[in-house]
Structure 1
């Protein structure tokens, strides 16, 4: 059955938004940096928030807001993953959850493995938890990226106490295989380490790739793992604070239950309301439309780069709306984004912030209208032509 792609909102309406994407640069700049999308909210989310405003439902988040049941149903429906609702807690956002779990499973000065190039807040989050970053970059075989299991094992054998996993991976869009996640789980179990898995991009996996929740990858994964996720990325709810922390075994659940009550109080009521509406079955049709739009855009970007920036290197991401593009062949320096913003008037995310592996790279947000994506790449293409001249 064909799915009608979701249509992005018009630019004149988007520029009325007051979020980071639309208030960081002047109106002559096309903003494609931060992970906000340009689509209307799922109707169920709009209705739920409208009703809350209408009746003044703007108080504190209740002790049992129901998101545990909603997420468990969503996980079963979307991924065939059976989650015990009693092993789900909630907090303000994914990085808040990651920090609190890392604090609970590490001691000050412990080393935590990250796998660059990776979402920049991972580095800050490890440090905020009092731990030390241990870099084990993804393996790039020229066709796809994968976890460096041998490198991770070396780090764990040398005393690293945790792995901070990005599953699916940001910025490459890699969907890690069940086999690699299971192998990671076995390594963590062998060395007595924990795995904290950021799974915020999980709803946005493009066929034929298949998302594997880390906790479901192997029996060992449930024993060593913690998943932290939210509807905020897929459903564009970053300003409405809510995320869930999921465990799969009694030992890890006990750790999460031992976190301060303040961890749950950080979830905003509007965030809970919006996340619950996103996880509801009535929002599935909207999500399918979004996936169709993003699939078209990730393929359109490949065509546009071939036409206007033929020396750029880009692989279709397995998941998400973020494209990782190597433009180092154009000689725009280690960090091309500032020059592109200044001269082409297109704001992209700075590659080196994701790690040294990001030198010469930019991250492009394709969660927009096709015509906006086309205009942005054409502008950058003109810049490349002008600089050749």
Structure 2
């Protein structure tokens, strides 16, 4: 990094300024609620991304996107720089968002009624994506090892034997911030190949893997993974572009290319050209900004660990290795199966409800740390007051 040209580290604006935003995060609840529920950062956009989107407007270039264009090359470069993964730009196919990548990949990978594996506790829309694509959801929960979690490879094998034709892999796993290790990915690829199944890997949080932590893209694992795998990528979480509506279906083998080729052309044509411009700038020139954001997120987790230890000793958390989301265990607090409910009603802090992530989320809540230290401190103080009353 050229420190002489480095920009100041991104910091969250004051609450009064944030409340002028019109996104779901800032319009769902009244102004007395601190919104730490949805996966949206409070930091300003990367200047290079904002300028690219503004330039798209300056040049009156707001037609249909159609293809990945320069964003495909930008993503390929980013994947090689950050993860050592070689991607052919022609294998990067645009669409609106990662949920659409998953749905449309499933539509061409399974037959109506086929079982599809998900691994709770997991991103809540997964429970809806499978039936939307015509499949039947099969839950194979992660194994809790006490200090971390792992895929239940035995349970996944049994589900494949029983007829599951696909698995949606959350990698890094949301809400746990868990990048799956290479050995598990290799084993999963082998299981899928042995049973004629497809692995659809949601890697939206991959750019937010924390410094010093290895992330192995599923399609970078080996030839077997490429033969059975489709990956979903986007700049939306790492660069705060969810509303810009651009994501990528990425493949790396002829069988998966053939599957994607069966998708309607509208899957690509619905992509926002503004979002594509933002993604191209983010993946092409946003590394320095992203590194600074990751440093800020690391400081937020340092603060959260200190605050939880001091103010919420009955709450436990395992520090994630990716993203800006904390999975908090409130089971010892007496706040019940859905602690986010009393925390919202009594403490005026909005967290993501744990039970939405599956049965394994009962007693948990997810908290977003991509905010200012002042907001995070105030939120924990309010939550602690609610817990103190419950005790």
Short-chain TM bin:
over 0.9
Mapped pair 1:170 → 2:174 = yes
Instruction: Give structure 2 stretches of 5+ with no counterpart.
Output: none
Q: What residue number does 2:126 align with?
A: 122
In structure 2, relative to structure 1, the CA distance for the partners of 1:62 and 1:193 (3 Å cut) is closer
1:25 aligns with 2:29: yes
- 2:228 aligns to what? 224
- What corresponds to 1:356 in structure 2? 359
CA distance in 2, matches of 1:218, 1:59: 38
Determine the structure 2 residue equivalent to 1:310.
Answer: 313
- Aligned with residue 148 of structure 1, among 149, 152, 156: 152
Cα distance, 1:24 vs. partner?
0.5
Which residue of structure 2 lines up, in the alignment, with residue 158 of structure 1?
A: 162
State the Cα RMSD in Å: 1.3
**How many angstroms does 1:385 deviate by?**
1.8
1:48 aligns with 2:52: yes
Tell whether the 8 Å contact from 1:196 to 1:225 is kept in structure 2 after alignment.
Answer: yes
- What SS does the aligned partner of 1:89 have? strand
Task: Give me the whole-angstrom Cα distance separating, in 1, the residues matched to 2:246 and 2:162.
Answer: 36
Any conservation in 2 of the 1:299–1:316 contact (CA below 8 Å)? Answer: no
Note if 1:365 corresponds to 2:368: yes
SS of the residue aligned with 2:242?
coil
Question: How far apart are the structure 2 equivalents of 1:64 and 1:165?
Answer: 24
Could you say what secondary structure the match of 1:364 adopts?
strand
Task: Report deviation, 1:387.
Answer: 3.0
Segment of structure 1 superposing worse, 45-54 or 266-275: 45-54
Q: Compute the displacement of 1:62 (Å).
A: 4.4
Q: Which residue of 1 aligns with 2:112?
A: 108
**Distance between the aligned counterparts of 1:68 and 1:48, measured in 2?**
16
Contact 2:109/2:198 (<8 A) preserved: yes
Question: Secondary structure at the residue paired with 2:17?
Answer: helix
Asked if structure 1 preserves the Cα contact closer than 8 Å seen for 2:68 and 2:276, the reply is: no
Partner deviation per Cα, 1:269-320 (whole Å, 9 max, x = no partner): 111011111111x311100000001111122111111111101110000100
User: Are the aligned partners of 2:91 and 2:252 in contact in 1 as well (CA < 8 Å)?
Assistant: yes
Instruction: Say if 2:383 is the partner of 1:380.
Output: yes
- 8 Å contact kept, 1:322–1:366: yes
CA deviation map 1:52-96 (0-9, x unaligned): 223332222244532211111111111110011222211000000
SS in 1 for 2:106: helix
Give the one of 266, 272, 280 matched to 1:276.
280
CA contact (8 A) 1:105 1:194 kept: yes
Q: Partner residue of 1:11? A: 15
Cα offset, 1:155, TM superposition = 0.6
Runs of 4 or more above 6 Å deviation: 1-4
What TM-score, normalized by structure 2, do the two folds share?
0.97
Q: CA deviation at 1:250?
A: 1.1
For 1:228 and 1:293, the matched residues in 2 are separated by 26
CA distance in 2, matches of 1:123, 1:387: 32
Alignment match of 2:237 (pick from 233, 257, 273): 233
State which drifts further: 329-338 or 312-321.
329-338
Match of 1:262 in 2: 266
Residues 64 and 301 of structure 1: is their aligned pair in 2 closer, same or farther, counting only changes over 3 Å? closer
State the Cα distance separating 1:371 from its structure 2 match: 1.2
Per-residue CA distance 1:119-172 (angstroms, 9 max, x = gap): 000110001000011000001110001111111011111111111000000000
Deviations 1:93-125 (A, max 9, x none): 000011000010101110011000000001100
What is the alpha-carbon distance in structure 2 between the residues aligned to residue 5 and residue 217 of structure 1? 34
How far residue 356 of structure 1 moved from its aligned partner, in angstroms, is: 0.3
Q: Is residue 6–residue 292 contact of structure 1 (8 Å, CA) maintained in 2? A: no
Is the Cα contact below 8 Å between 2:66 and 2:268 reproduced in 1? no
Structure 1 runs not aligned, ≥5 long: none
2:62 is aligned with 1:71: no
Q: Number of aligned pairs? A: 387
- Secondary structure of 1:317 counterpart: coil
Q: 2 CA distance for matches of 1:248 and 1:64? A: 16
Could you state the TM-score of these two structures normalised by the residue count of structure 1?
Answer: 0.97
Instruction: Flag the 1:73–1:338 CA change in 2: closer, same or farther, 3 A.
Output: same
Q: Which residue of 1 aligns with 2:88?
A: 84
Question: Does residue 321 in structure 1 map to residue 300 in structure 2?
Answer: no
